[in-house]
Amino acid sequence: MKRVIKSMTGFGRSEIVTEQCKITVEIKAVNHRYCDLNIKIPKKLNSLENTVRGAIKKAVHRGKLDVFIGYEDLSEHAACVQLNKGLGMEYCRAVRELSETLGIEDDVTAFRIARMPEVLMINDAQLNPEEVEETLLQAVEQALLQFMESREREGEQLKADILQKLSGMTGNIAGIEERYPQMVRDYRKKLTDKVKELLADSNVDESRIATEVVIYADKICVDEETVRLRSHISNMEEELIRGGNVGRKLDFIAQEMNREANTILSKANDITVSNMAIDLKTEIEKIREQVQNIE
């Protein structure tokens, strides 16, 4: 089975009509840390809710899902009218008694009595849930298929966008690494010029200058951070290409990437490096937002 990246948002709908009934199923979902499944099902089908829940949970691992199930009985005996004779007779007796008491015309008719509360009642035909279980599950599977396809389409778009952002981050990292030697050279020149200015001659202690430059170079060195950041980028690319339910893992990798970018920014003593580190953090934040949408 092909492993693909899936978004946590999606929508699917199906409708099945038989001689006996019409069943509609709608599934929609948004982001959620876990699988939160809310099913709205007609009371007459309540006994099948766990069956529907199990079928959906086999296919969906994360997301807040709302499932709406509609049922319409199309059989000849879908409903019947039931007469409460005793209650109707009581209404008739009471109305005639009231007519005699008030001395007004007795205009009782069957139609007027029928309109009294609970004299005529509509009863739905009794339904055996097992008779529609197969049709219901078929409708759920069709809605799930459409739902998963919409998730996969959006997942592929998320994957392409994140891979593009990772490529841009790699360029920023290369720029930071290239800038580092120039920062050391600039510092050495600035330090040498300052010492010459203070001593007012050219007799500069080169060994002392070299020591200060080494201390400075070590202070601003971000080799470890860029190496780890490249490793995180490579790891995220591999997970995206491998596919599957990798949302949580990608979120953790993005957190680690942000940690390294923060360290680079804190060490930056150069406007160019600072700007590139800020660009890194901006892209990482965008990636984290996108990762939140992945199952």
Amino acid at 65: L
- Residue 223's pLDDT is what? 80
CATH of the domain at 198: 1.20.140
Each residue's pLDDT tens digit, 108-149: 888 888 888 888 876 665 667 777 898 999 999 999 999 999
pTM beyond cutoff 0.85: no
Number of domains in the chain: 3
Asked if the structure places residue 53 within a domain, the reply is yes
Instruction: Report the distance separating Cα 111 and Cα 95, nearest Å.
Output: 13
If asked whether residues 262 and 159 sit together in one domain, one would say yes
Asked if the structure places residue 22 within a domain, the reply is yes
Instruction: Report the distance separating Cα 233 and Cα 231, nearest Å.
Output: 5
If asked whether residues 227 and 191 sit together in one domain, one would say yes
If asked whether residues 115 and 200 sit together in one domain, one would say no
If asked whether residues 145 and 34 sit together in one domain, one would say yes
Each residue's pLDDT tens digit, 40-56: 999 888 999 999 999 99
Using CB atoms within 10 A of its CB, is residue 264 exposed (0-12), middle (13-18) or buried (19+)? buried
- Tell me which of 74-83, 94-103, 235-244 is least confident: 74-83
Domain residue limits at 137: 10-75+128-151
Nearest 5 degrees, angle CA 289-CA 290-CA 294?
Answer: 120
Asked if the structure places residue 1 within a domain, the reply is no
